[in-house]
Amino acid sequence: MKETSLQTFNLIESVEILGKKINLYNTVENPLFLARDVAEWIDYAFTNAKRTSRDISKMIKNIDSDEKIKGVCNLYDRKNFPITNEGNNSNKSTFNSFYGAISPSDKTKSKARKTQNMWFLTEDGLYEVLMQSRKPIAKEIKSKIKSYLRDIRKTGGTVEPYKDKNNEVKIDQEIENLEFDIFNFRGFKIRCLNINNVVFFIGKEICDVLGYSNARKAIDDHVDEDDKFRMLKSRFVTLDIPNRGLTAINESGLYSLILSSKLSQAREFKQWVTSEVLPSIRKTGGAIEYGSEEKFIESRFSNFSEDTKRAMVTELLASNKVLQEQNELLETDVKALKSEILTWNDRNKLNAGVRMLAAQTNHYIGTIWKQLYKQLQYKYGIYLNSRKQNKNDSLISRVREEEWGMVMETFNAMCADYGKSPTKMFQQTLNKN
């Protein structure tokens, strides 16, 4: 490849996180991170005994090709690097430390300054490297960078993550009229809250379901800082909250607790949340328990006429009945798919199912596979990229026998998300074979 074809990436932000200099390149919406920097953050292995060079190639070997890119780092060329001296935003020291690392002889070479081949990681690629690392600081860096990126995307500039003296995350939405959506799982009450279209759960209640004896420790150990916040009674005045407050966790925090639970019903609980709770809340903006429609209408539309309220209750009952029937069909699909899997014990069938889902949804096959692999990572902690096999083997060949149930459940959920029946999908595949 000709060097002139490489894209040049400019440094746009520089911030210190956990004592590490974090440099962002390209744009705020699509940031890139220099792989060499990432290796320094997590103290990745060296390539030689003199400890002069990190093994970047090994670190990014299992990262998807679309999550890493080779390019030119503009930081090498002083005239193309805008130096700012505005208080804490000064990046002069960043340039000096980086530029100073280049040998004096290389500084005079045009190739070293302008056409140096450097590996960059996308945001997803960065998180993938950090998740694969066993260094304790990797998880902390991941959490802090996620929080930092979220904040600068709101403001368009460098900001410090907002937290008040009570460690309560700032919420932009008006919260005067919020109400809990209440579900029950095997006798456990699960309260959910929809804020700015983000679903939150009460951390203590989730820990109780998953068998954690010390909820506070479990949340501290397993849930990232930007995946939780403290709900105080003084702010959420319409909610039933104790004076000490409650810790709320988002969907990412929920999955972290599920993955870390040793309880056998953790997987069943996850399936229940993803197939019933979340779809209900996202479809209606808030779930309404079957049988409580009249109470819901009365509490929110008390000033309406009796005739109007009765009509609303009737319509809501009909909608809930349809939703209940849809859930029953989905449950039937899940059971049918599980029984189908027992007779299929063949990876080629999954390949055919993925191809059919791609065709019916107008997606590339590679896109569907990538979505499947990502869901396996986020929901079950299955990192196929990190498993060493022959380099020509497909990722799906790295699935272990005991993991196939999780793979098929994940594919089933993907089909449901696209509004497709997995049972019909596989049946059509069978008829073609």
pLDDT at 49: 82
pLDDT at 79: 43
The pLDDT confidence band at residue 374, using thresholds 50, 70 and 90, is confident
Q: Are both 381 and 422 inside the same structural domain?
A: yes
Q: Are both 151 and 190 inside the same structural domain?
A: no
Kindly state whether residue 410 falls inside one of the protein's structural domains. yes
Q: Are both 52 and 150 inside the same structural domain?
A: yes
Q: What is the pLDDT of residues 124-159, one digit of tens each?
A: 889 888 888 888 888 888 888 888 887 777 655 444
For residues 282-292, average pLDDT: 55
Q: Are both 11 and 137 inside the same structural domain?
A: yes
Kindly state whether residue 83 falls inside one of the protein's structural domains. yes
Domain boundary among 121, 155, 189: 155
Q: Are both 213 and 93 inside the same structural domain?
A: no
Kindly state whether residue 314 falls inside one of the protein's structural domains. no
Q: Are both 202 and 148 inside the same structural domain?
A: no
Kindly state whether residue 325 falls inside one of the protein's structural domains. no
The pLDDT confidence band at residue 179, using thresholds 50, 70 and 90, is confident
Q: Are both 385 and 266 inside the same structural domain?
A: no
Res. 271: pLDDT tops 60? yes
Q: Are both 18 and 108 inside the same structural domain?
A: yes
Q: Are both 255 and 196 inside the same structural domain?
A: yes
- Measure the CA–CA gap between 412 and 333, rounded to whole angstroms: 8
Tokens found for residue 12: 């746009």
**In this structure, is the dihedral angle defined by the CA atoms of residues 247, 251, 253 and 258, taken in order, positive or negative?**
positive
- Measure the CA–CA gap between 71 and 111, rounded to whole angstroms: 13
Tokens found for residue 79: 């005239």
Kindly state whether residue 295 falls inside one of the protein's structural domains. no
Kindly state whether residue 145 falls inside one of the protein's structural domains. yes
The pLDDT confidence band at residue 328, using thresholds 50, 70 and 90, is low
Length of the chain: 433
Domain boundary among 92, 121, 155: 155
Average pLDDT, rounded, for the chain: 73
Q: Are both 92 and 130 inside the same structural domain?
A: yes
Which of the residue ranges 34-43, 145-154, 156-165, 413-422 would you say has the lowest mean pLDDT?
156-165
Residue 378 to residues 86, 139, 402, 406, Cα–Cα distance (Å): 40, 14, 18, 12
Res. 83: pLDDT tops 50? no
Res. 399: pLDDT tops 50? yes
Q: Are both 28 and 149 inside the same structural domain?
A: yes
- Measure the CA–CA gap between 154 and 301, rounded to whole angstroms: 35
For residues 258 and 203, is the Cβ–Cβ distance under 8 A?
Answer: no
Whichever domain contains 259, its CATH number is 3.10.260
Query: What is the number of domains present in the chain?
Result: 3
Q: Are both 115 and 218 inside the same structural domain?
A: no
Give the domain extent around 140. 3-155
177 vs 149 pLDDT, higher one:
149
pLDDT at 41: 93
